[in-house]
Amino acid sequence: MDDQLYRQPVFRVFQIFLIIFTVLAGSIFAQDPAIGLTDSADVFVPAPPGAVKATDVVYDQGGAVDLEWELSPDDDGSLKVSGYYICRREVGGEDYRLVDSVMAGVRTFVDETVEQDHTYQYMVAVNGDCSTAPSEESNSITPDMEWLNFGLSNLFIIGLVICGSVIYFIAHAKRGKKFFIRKIAGLEAVDEAIGRATEMGRPILFVPGILDMDDVQTIAALTILGRVSRVVADYDTKINVPVSRSLVMTAARETIKSSYMAAGRPDAYSDDMAAYITDEQFGYVAAVDGMMVREKPATCFLLGAFFAESLILAETGNSIGAIQIAGTARPAQLPFFVAACDFTLIGEELFAASAYLSGEPKQMGSLKGQDVGKAIAMVFIVLGVITTTLAQAWDIGVFTWISDLLHDLFQVTS
């Protein structure tokens, strides 16, 4: 987390730097031909690169051109050639300007600084120690914009199938069809855990992770909070939701409030149930740890996006003997929850939880739909592994065809 925090500006500066450099290098290049002309014996001038081919990048906003050229014969890994300059001009427009430079050995470049529906020509100049040799002019090219990205049609098809199956089963359930859903231990325990807190007269702590609303795990956590606070309202127990983002606080309050209304006890709701602490990762952890040891909650829910703090929170909760139900979709943190908590929702279970707890048929339907997705994935894995293996063993046309098809089907471009 803190990593990203200070690296973002770095990248912003980098972009600015890039622009500055382009200009700078541009001026360098402007003089270079002059040097190239003084072609005395002691100045080595590398042989120019071969034909430059420019093609429009498909399925984009018309803002990019693909370039490809043959390396200069002198670019043979020896250090005679240090790189290539990419130059561009608008047909019928000004003369060649430097776009960017690439290292020696590179034979392709994507120019993303072009404008839609303008016609350009390119030239690639090889760069020796103190001389450059420009290539022939490239074909002229006019980048244009497509309205549909057919490069993603496989994503579209499979997406349609899986999303379709989810929606189908939701609709199916609406018509009153009942599905069997296996028991998920962590979620079965929720009622009991809340009941325990009620008996002991101790509060419940609900930590919705440390990321903002722009992370699905936080949203999943809130949907679960909705179910939990509903039960809490019925049991009339105290619930604390410390959060590390203001937006999450607002959303959490909205969620709890409506659950209390649904339970018919809006009077019992108070805004203090969800309180913002601080955005700082470990500052938040310090505060929550303090809360744990002071208020001694009987039950802790740690659901959402967690990083290094996962174990710090789980261990503290464990030390006060609270029942802990944890869940996250971050594989790196799951082991710590498994080690220190009573129940852990592993990845997918976190997102399924709210549907499971709701008990509504249509929500259950969506889970059934998910399983279809899993089935599809499994079938493709088995089929794919077998066919690719056979295809390579005895290169039988049909298997090669199938395995290639599967690969094309699941390769995601972009």
Q: Of 104, 133, 231, 303, which lies in the binding site for other proteins, with binding defined by CB under 8 A?
A: 104
Stretch that binds other proteins, among 42-50, 118-126, 196-204, 319-327 (CB under 8 A): 319-327
**Is residue 35 within the footprint of other proteins (CB under 8 A)?**
no
Tell me, residue by residue from 242 to 261, as one string, x for binding to other proteins by CB under 8 A and - for no binding. ---xxx-xxx--xx-xxx-x
CB closer to other proteins out of 129 and 136:
129
**Is residue 331 within the footprint of other proteins (CB under 8 A)?**
yes
Q: Of 44, 105, 112, 185, which lies in the binding site for other proteins, with binding defined by CB under 8 A?
A: 105
Restricting to residues 144-203, which ones interact with other proteins according to CB under 8 A? 145-149, 152, 154-156, 158-159, 162-163, 166-167, 170, 179-182, 184
Q: Of 382, 396, 398, 405, which lies in the binding site for other proteins, with binding defined by CB under 8 A?
A: 382
**Is residue 401 within the footprint of other proteins (CB under 8 A)?**
no
**Is residue 40 within the footprint of other proteins (CB under 8 A)?**
no
**Is residue 385 within the footprint of other proteins (CB under 8 A)?**
yes
Stretch that binds other proteins, among 32-40, 42-50, 132-140, 343-351 (CB under 8 A): 343-351
- The 3-state secondary structure of the chain, one letter per residue: CHHHHHHHHHHHHHHHHHHHHHHHHHHHHHHHHHHHHCCCCCCCCCCCCCCEEEEECCCCCCCCEEEEECCCCCCCCCCCCCEEEEEEEECCCCCCEEEEEEECCCCEEEECCCCCCCCEEEEEEEECCCCEEECCCCCCECCCCCCCCHHHHHHHHHHHHHHHHHHHHHHHHHCCCCCCCCCCHHHHHHHHHHHHHHHHCCCEEEECCCCCCCCHHHHHHHHHHHHHHHHHHHHCCCEEEEECCHHHHHHHHHHHHHHHHHCCCHHHCCHHHEEECCCCHHHHHHHHHHHHHHHCCCEEEEECCCCCHHHHHHHHHHHCCCEEEEEECCCCCHHHHHHHCCEEEECHHHHHHHHHHHCCHHHHHHHHHHHHHHHHHHHHHHHHHHHHHHHHHHCCHHHHHHHHHHHHHHCCCC
Q: Of 132, 223, 237, 324, which lies in the binding site for other proteins, with binding defined by CB under 8 A?
A: 223
**Is residue 350 within the footprint of other proteins (CB under 8 A)?**
yes
What is the total count of residues that contact other proteins (CB under 8 A)?
140
CB closer to other proteins out of 68 and 315:
315
Restricting to residues 115-134, which ones interact with other proteins according to CB under 8 A? none
Give the shortest CB-320-to-other proteins separation in angstroms: 8
Give the shortest CB-414-to-other proteins separation in angstroms: 8
**Is residue 142 within the footprint of other proteins (CB under 8 A)?**
no
CB closer to other proteins out of 11 and 34:
11
